[in-house]
A and B are shown apart, each in its own frame.
Chain A
Amino acid sequence: MFYEAGSHRGKFYITPTRVAAFAILLVLSLVGVYPFIWMVLTSLRERNTIFNGPFIPTNFVFDAYPQAWQQTKFGAHFQNTIVIALFSLAGILFFSTAAGYAFAKLKFPFKRTIYVMLLSTMAMPAASLIIPLYLQVKSLGLLNSQSGLILVYVASMSPFSIFLMRSFFEVVPDELIEAARIDGSSEWGTFFRVALPLVKPGVATVVILQLLSIWNEFLYATVLVQDVAQKPLQPVIFNLVGQFNTNWPSLTAALTMAIIPVVLVYINMQKQFVAGLTQGALKG
């Protein structure tokens, strides 16, 4: 009774297994969401009750929101983040689906060498990479620009997505691809029309994970974009964290506002999973 195939299509029913499963999922969900609740409640507290007040504040104060909005020039940096995220994501999606498909399903020379070289990106600690990267971006004349940051994001984040997409494409049966070839479809055509629609949940996963990485990235954004007006939101918000002096209500208010779009995209992408499912998954 571990796995109930097809139950998602039917009505809800109650069995002991389902009750146990529900209990497990509920507990883990609550544990997961706890910091979010804490963050939102902290943004509504008075500053001198952050660490010593009750979990649910006695007084709700909304001052932190307008304060954080002003302090971080939220609107302008939010716009920067959106532009950076959209362009980066578009690049990452194109590179990762095409390359992921090729690595999973096609034979070509230097395949393994290129794969390992690409993925070595995921292996290099940012602490060591950051200064050579800075010098490289500078020598390309892209320092201090959003375009430079976008290109670095695309280059540095694509390998992880290629890695994900490769695994999702591996699940697609070879027979479907052979069949398309026999029908005279070109390789690119097979990729676009046959394989890609089958890995929508994988694409949704890439969108969520990479959007998050871009949204929360702050080391490259801090170092590669010096001009304050050009910066995305995250490094600006991080400046509310002092070494000795952190304004927690402002910080948590800014972070709460900042993650709303990510959560909305996440919920939307979740629908992709279910959509892939109802379309009969791999029957194309």
Chain B
Amino acid sequence: MSQIQSLFGRLASVLLGSPNGRQERIAGLSMVLPAFIFFLLFIGIPITQTVLLGFQKWNAIAPAEWVGIDNYVHMLDDNVFARALFVTFILTAALTIILTVVPQIIAVLFNMGWGAFGTIGRTMMFMPSVISWVVTGALWRLILDPNLGSLNRLLQGIGLAALQQNWLGDRNVVLWSISAVAIWQQFGLYVIIFFAGIQTIDGDLYEAAAIDGANGFQRYLNVTVPMLRPVTLMVVTLNLLNGIKLFDVIYVMTQGGPVNASQTLGTYVYRVAFANPGLPDFGYGSALSTIILILCILALFFQIWMTRRAKY
């Protein structure tokens, strides 16, 4: 054991430079490295291969062929890719804003103290995340059926027939429908993340604010919002990542249709890899995935940048 420690120590002095704070650095690395090695072994290698496949032509069975940046050049005149990029951008922006602001407020409302109802209510809101997409997708398609669906029938029933839509079949409406279902599906998840975050805020801060005469809304603005900053930032980043590779909801609702109106990068990758007639085009699919990867890494740098900015 001590041998290993001294070995580690020597390695550390090479790696870690000055002895000042060295213990912290060693501890930091020892906490991170097990997860990192695991990641490299099982996920890092396949991810690297996927990125490399983006420069190849490969259909899963014939030998791969190196094609340089052909796949990326192809993107430039691929209209479906342009559409998918646009839809991804719109949906990511809309979902990130709504799924950050509203769940935070709802979590605050839950924190008003409701006894058993609080737990039950949060459980009920969380149910969409618990139930498989197979069921929720089928249910939503029934609700949104343009002729027999309960939404159009409800609108008819309350005298708002003018608002009836072909929810999944009209290109100008489909993104609204998709957004609504996506919000509904993830909403409860962010409520519990915010709720958990609020629980870690020091109660004394609220009492101090109350003594200073702050009302409920001021306490929300001056204590809850700033203290929740790291959690909010996490939720924003999570939303950005989920938005950039949005897939499940569209796959079960429209598969990107009609006429690519709801095609995102996530569904397009899937289509290229597994839903194309003929053999799959994993080279192009991997190049598209690499674009998603780059966008997500930008979102992560955004989080790091915001975190550092908050500290100074």
Contacts and interface: CB of A to CB of B under 8 A. Distances in A.
B123 A270 contact: yes
B167 interface: no
A contact patch SS: helix
A25 B106 contact: yes
Contact of B300 (A7, A119, A216, A281): A119
Contacts of B44: 117
Contacts of A118: 35-36, 39
Contacts of A115: 300, 304
B27 interface: yes
B139 interface: yes
Interface string B272-312: 01100000001001101100110111001100100100000
A244 interface: no
7 contacts: A6-B207, A29-B120, A35-B131, A123-B295, A152-B42, A255-B135, A262-B130
B contact patch SS: helix
Given A115-B304, A167-B231, A125 B269 contact: yes
A12 B91 CA distance: 40
Interface in B16-52: 16, 21, 23-32, 34-36, 38-39, 41-47, 49-50
- Residue in B46, B206, B304 whose Cβ sees the most chain A Cβ within 10 Å: B46
B110 A25 contact: yes
Contact of B119 (A121, A270, A282): A270
Interface string A1-26: 11111111110100001100110111
Interface string A201-220: 11011001100100010000
A265 B53 CA distance: 41
Interface residues of A, number: 118
B43 A121 contact: yes
A36 interface: yes
A124 B200 contact: no
Interface string B101-140: 0000010111111110101111111111111101110110
Contacts of A21: 109, 112
A69 interface: no
B72 interface: no
Contacts, number: 345
Contacts of A263: 123, 130
B115 A12 contact: yes
A226 interface: no
B86 interface: no
B244 interface: yes
A3 B194 CA distance: 14
Contacts of A251: 134-135
A127 B238 contact: no
Interface in B72-120: 106, 108-115, 117, 119-120
Given A29-B120, A35-B127, A208-B192, A276 B112 contact: no
Given A107-B21, A168-B196, 5 more contacts: A2-B216, A25-B110, A96-B35, A98-B34, A129-B46
B269 A127 contact: yes
Contacts of B46: 129, 132-133, 135-136
Given A29-B120, A109-B29, A205 B192 contact: yes
Contact of A106 (B15, B28, B126): B28
Interface stretch (A56-64, A79-87, A158-166): A158-166
B241 A123 contact: yes
Contacts of B256: none
Interface stretch (B2-10, B169-177, B219-227): B219-227
A252 B114 CA distance: 32
Contacts of A276: 199-200
B297 A106 contact: no
B65 interface: no
B106 A108 contact: no
A33 B127 contact: yes
A151 B38 CA distance: 8
Interface string A137-168: 10010000000000110111011001110111
B24 A39 contact: no
Contacts of A283: 202, 204
Contacts of B32: 98-99, 102-103, 108, 111, 114
A252 B234 CA distance: 34
A185 B216 CA distance: 39
Contact of B124 (A30, A98, A99, A101): A30
B55 interface: no
B131 A109 contact: no
Contacts of A273: 195-196, 199
B197 interface: yes
Nearest to B129: A212
B18 to A, nearest CB: 12
B293 A124 contact: yes
Given A1-B217, A133-B43, A171 B230 contact: yes
Contact of B34 (A8, A95, A164, A208): A95
Contacts of B203: 5-6, 277, 280-281
B109 A25 contact: yes
A203 B42 CA distance: 24
Nearest to A148: B42
B215 interface: yes
A173 B223 CA distance: 15
Contacts of A135: 46, 49
Given A107-B21, A127-B273, A101 B112 contact: no
